[in-house]
Structure 1
């Protein structure tokens, strides 16, 4: 699949791709589209006497402001999940640097994640290995606080990360998000492999294409260094190098459709998580090494509830079946 045959409407290319998907479906149903704020991807859809505001494709009247706030705040979302006996990573929250640093001995012997309370797209998240130095731990803590007034430090759960898209009372799509990576051919450097992968017409910048280009910043340089590599390293045939620790598609990751592969009980857990937050439209991030087997609390956890889940990773996955999730949004809003 290429950018030219994704069947998206012409004249809307400047808007983020999830909004383009909603526009495409609205056009197909003869729904009038009014642009409220183009830069904010804010639309009003009108069909006869029925009108709905839709912002960034998945923000609608169906979810309350408080539901958004609970999902946006990782402390609040972990609280309601825990109260509903849904497995989340063990950890603590902090509102100042000093208290977080004072708990270094608590986390020193284990692998842990340090993350801001209110950011998306993996921004400000650090992964600190077991036995990490205090100075390195402090760097992660200070970085997270630079993005949010509160942070969470929690156990690191091993395994791939999966996004469950919940629309109403159904999990309509599941996507395995793989961190930005390149695979060696035995002759090309990492930088050259990034260039080759970025030539894929599906990769662009600014959430206007199904995939984002892999960057070559200090962050990618640091992640490569942790693998004993740099941009000039030549990878062996089939060798994979990762450029990011977070799996967000927005930072160059790959989206792999897993909707038909996950164990049905994981879908039940995702639905229970959405219900706990009173959410109608949301993305549930689950990490697990055994996603195709019956859930075992030792091998999975709910990482986040996302209040503004993107649609394009399911409509246009890097690999796997395309899921028509845009249509489901309009169905939920009551359009014919």
Structure 2
């Protein structure tokens, strides 16, 4: 297994992705100026060449409009669809009343209800076929509480993968698995969470490779949907999910699969980035057959992400570490 490169000392309070950029910049003799520590805002200087970098992957390489297109799921789906790139079929709404009118249209379908602008999976609900109007409306209200517009779209079965696109390349791909624990037949879910959180790689605030699994009302509700609670004792080998979103920021696991994905998926990810005009981005693809030639029936692009985190690829929960910071420095023109 590839050895990890140690992070520099003295920057432990910064986000781990920013620490990666600092480490790789220092290795090149690039001067580091911390412009705003709490905002993870840096200036990198090498001779007469200087660049501002915020949160590791926000740079001059991507325009404000590119960011706005990626941030807005209606706009990003539009540009992807116009470029012939497979996206989930769906509709967008700006009010509860409008969404309610399509309740019967979606009634027999499994669907995702999500804010047009969201981060870390906030406000995303998955509604099953036959869900009551009341439950459907609750998902809509939650999503509208976080954004002026929402999208309701088909739910596509399969694992979710983050493709890190830097320039003309897919540098790394990881399978993001929602926060979970695996039963041993004798421990409660609470005990299993606490044990998993003892992993020194798990912390809080994006300053460690993984985030601790929380035991909030969100996780409790997910358990209740499975007729479980924190005191339930799952059977040996039984995997219990505590989140519906796969974000590492909410306790998920990242598994490197860069060498396993079919090359055409990487081509699709690069095409998606170009459709949005992005140089640095994360493309989220859901597929039940990621190792096979893409079939429109078994995959779709879920999102184009501005400001993708780097650490999930360099410090995966399992799999080969991918060193991505140097590529960003290359794109910025540093030697």
The two structures have a TM-score, normalised by structure 2, of 0.98
- Let me know the Cα RMSD of the aligned residues: 1.0
Cα offset, 1:6, TM superposition: 5.9
Structure 1 residue 167 corresponds to structure 2 residue 166: yes
Partner of 1:144: 143
Q: Secondary structure at the match of 2:297?
A: helix
Cα offset, 1:218, TM superposition: 1.0
Partner of 1:242: 241
Partner of 1:75: 74
Q: Secondary structure at the match of 1:153?
A: strand
Partner of 1:43: 42
Partner of 1:282: 281
Q: Secondary structure at the match of 2:302?
A: strand
Cα offset, 1:162, TM superposition: 0.1
User: Which runs of 4 or more aligned residues in structure 1 lie more than 6 Å from their structure 2 counterparts after TM superposition?
Assistant: none
CA distance in 1, matches of 2:66, 2:33: 26
5 Å matches for 1:181-330?
181-330=180-329
Cα offset, 1:317, TM superposition: 0.2
5 Å matches for 1:59-138?
59-138=58-137
Cα offset, 1:228, TM superposition: 2.1
Cα offset, 1:104, TM superposition: 0.7
Q: Deviations over 1:152-191 (max 9, x none)?
A: 0000000000000000000000000000000111111000
CA distance in 2, matches of 1:52, 1:100: 45
Which blocks of at least 5 consecutive residues in structure 2 are unaligned?
none
Number of residue pairs aligned between Structure 1 and Structure 2: 333
Partner of 1:33: 32
Q: Secondary structure at the match of 1:304?
A: strand
CA distance in 1, matches of 2:235, 2:139: 32
Q: Deviations over 1:75-128 (max 9, x none)?
A: 000000000010000000111221112211111110000000111110100000
CA distance in 1, matches of 2:72, 2:284: 14
Cα offset, 1:36, TM superposition: 1.1
